[in-house]
Amino acid sequence: MTLQSPLHDVSGTGARGEARLDVGGRVFTCGMESNEAPDETGDGAGPELPLPALVAETCSAMLDAVAIIDRIEAKQDAWKIEFLDQARRIAETTEHGVLTVGSKLTEVQRREMVRRSFVAEVAAVLRIPEVTAGRLIDDSEILMHRLPSTYAALREGDISLRHARTIVDQIATLSDNHALELEEAALGYAKKLTVSKFSQKVRVLRERIDADSITERRVKSAQDRRVEFVPARDGMAWLNLYTTAPEAASLYTAIRDTAITLQSRIQTRTLTQLGADVCADALATGLVNGMHASGPAKWKAQVTPRPGSDATGQRAATASSRISPTVLVTVPAMTLLGKSDEPGDLAGYGPIDPDTARKLAGSSTTWFRLLTDPDTGAPLSLGRTRYQPTKRMRAYLELRDGTCRWQGCNRQAKHCDIDHTVSWDHGGPTECENLSHLCPKHHRVKHETTWHPRQLGGGVIEWTSPDGRTYVTEPEVALPPPPEPGYSPEAPEAPEAPEPELESGEPPPRFEPPPVDDGSPPF
């Protein structure tokens, strides 16, 4: 078997830009048999093999090729780690061109802001979340400077990046001597175990080497507890909880036990579906009834058929009818009237089917026509007459942006600041084409570094990094232009209460970033 591939080329280009596999004179290109004739320069393909033997040989050769490519990918991961660590060291040695001129940050804050800028650049280049980019940078530093043997094994293709990261995770709170001891004991297992099995093995080895620090590590890890919302396909999503092991086990057991009690011969839902419904019901009921996070949560789920449900215990109420927190749903008028099946839009998720959109709209107590500002005469631009945007402008921007407008950030717009792209004290007007949402973290980076945004129209923003790279972020909803002047609805809404305006020539206070940053999702 001979494998020719451009994968060894750092540029990613080769003579043909494809992988070629030669099995006994039969050439396969990228997994498909080519029309090329067998190589006749040698002895040829040799004696013709029976069909079963030929199939087995070809399949075996292709699997060998997969294994070779897997080793090549591990080597490329090692190269990426080394280049990334070199870039980090260079970035940390200079503030020139990164921080704004005249910055009043302390030395510690300056170093932190330089790092934030570098993390943001890496995230944008690799098209990954900043949390992931920060993790990759940290892992690169640890592998290059604390785990030399692990890095060498990765560079040789003997282990995968996931195996290497498993060791990185386990030495985070170890001394250098203990880290090297764990590395020596674990590497042999990394070369022959799956990631899951290897992770279990390394945890055992770690506790043997440094059992005394388990309490310290538990306390530190508990600081990372969080809830994550992850959109999935077909109108579904994941709600992930990362918490302490005892709490997670207790919650899971309560959910599972309650779901089991609801099983019966006439129950049409599976145990898995019942578990999901029990969890959703318990969370929704607890939130609606005013559950507060004042201490460790203690609850027992009690789910019974609701009035109006059938004998199978199917849920009569849905999450949309029980949850009280506000969500933003956009529904086309024709869909709402039942004359179109154009999807609606759920803020933070995306398109939802028309039936769900109509149900959510039907349970809403608040309606807002965003694109009919002529109803009240409220303009989408206040020019230089007022610094703060109006209520309607804020709602318009929240719908348009959806999230923080920094590339890759998913903090919902309702939890963000509204920022003047061209700052007010530099002549920037208060108009939607000069406003966008930025979370506190990225608002601070925008003002303290030389990252520069430019609005291109229609809510599209181009960001230029300190290194001169450009990145474009699109609005979540491409809103059509406002109605033409003179539009007059049949039932205009009451104008909003006037807000206090600035006296002529009096600029607003300059933005001062908060001393403590609450970070970005997950929270």
Asked if residue 378 is part of any domain, the answer here is yes
Q: What is the residue type of 151?
A: Y
Asked if residue 120 is part of any domain, the answer here is no
Q: Tell whether 469 and 391 lie within a shared domain.
A: yes
Better-scored residue on pLDDT, 221 or 294: 221
Domain boundary (432, 452, 473) is at: 473
Asked if residue 145 is part of any domain, the answer here is no
Domain that holds residue 403: 373-473
Looking at residue 247, its pLDDT comes to 86
Q: Tell whether 314 and 338 lie within a shared domain.
A: no
Token pair belonging to 455:
């609005």
Q: Cα–Cα distance between 353 and 236 in angstroms, integer?
A: 11
Contacts of 454 (CB under 8 A, 6+ apart): 421, 461, 462, 463, 464
Asked if residue 255 is part of any domain, the answer here is yes
Q: Tell whether 243 and 304 lie within a shared domain.
A: yes
pLDDT, tens digit (0-9, with 9 covering 90-100), for 266-304: 989 999 999 999 999 988 887 766 555 444 444 443 444
Given a cut of 80, whether residue 30 has pLDDT beyond it is no
**Mean pLDDT for the chain overall:** 77
Q: Tell whether 377 and 467 lie within a shared domain.
A: yes
Give me the phi and psi of 502, to 5 degrees please.
-75, 145
Which band of pLDDT confidence, cut at 50, 70 and 90, is reported for residue 445? very high
Q: Tell whether 285 and 377 lie within a shared domain.
A: no
Which band of pLDDT confidence, cut at 50, 70 and 90, is reported for residue 368? low
Q: Tell whether 311 and 252 lie within a shared domain.
A: yes
Contact predicate 417/383, CB 8 Å: no
pTM for this entry: 0.65
Given a cut of 70, whether residue 254 has pLDDT beyond it is yes
Could you tell me the end-to-end alpha-carbon distance of the chain, in angstroms, rounded to an integer?
51
Contact predicate 176/152, CB 8 Å: no
Contact predicate 400/432, CB 8 Å: yes
What is the share, in percent, of the chain residues with pLDDT greater than 70?
Answer: 68
Looking at residue 73, its pLDDT comes to 95
Q: What is the mean pLDDT of residues 140-168?
A: 96
Q: Tell whether 333 and 399 lie within a shared domain.
A: no
What residues does 420 pair with on adjacent strands?
Answer: 435
Asked if residue 391 is part of any domain, the answer here is yes
Q: Tell whether 315 and 351 lie within a shared domain.
A: no
Asked if residue 313 is part of any domain, the answer here is yes
Closest CA to 400 of 387, 418, 383: 418
Q: What is the mean pLDDT of residues 8-30?
A: 57
Q: Tell whether 469 and 386 lie within a shared domain.
A: yes
Considering Cα of 165, then 166, then 168, then 172, what sign does the dihedral take? positive
Better-scored residue on pLDDT, 100 or 435: 435
Angle at 105 between CA 99 and CA 107, to 5 degrees: 95
Looking at residue 384, its pLDDT comes to 65
SS3 461: strand
Order of strands, sheet of 470-473, starting from the edge strand that comes earlier in the sequence? 452-457, 460-464, 470-473
Looking at residue 90, its pLDDT comes to 92
In the chain, the number of structural domains is: 3
Would you say how long the chain is, in residues? 523
Q: What is the residue type of 343?
A: P
Asked if residue 452 is part of any domain, the answer here is yes
Q: Cα–Cα distance between 155 and 472 in angstroms, integer?
A: 34
Domain boundary (429, 445, 473) is at: 473
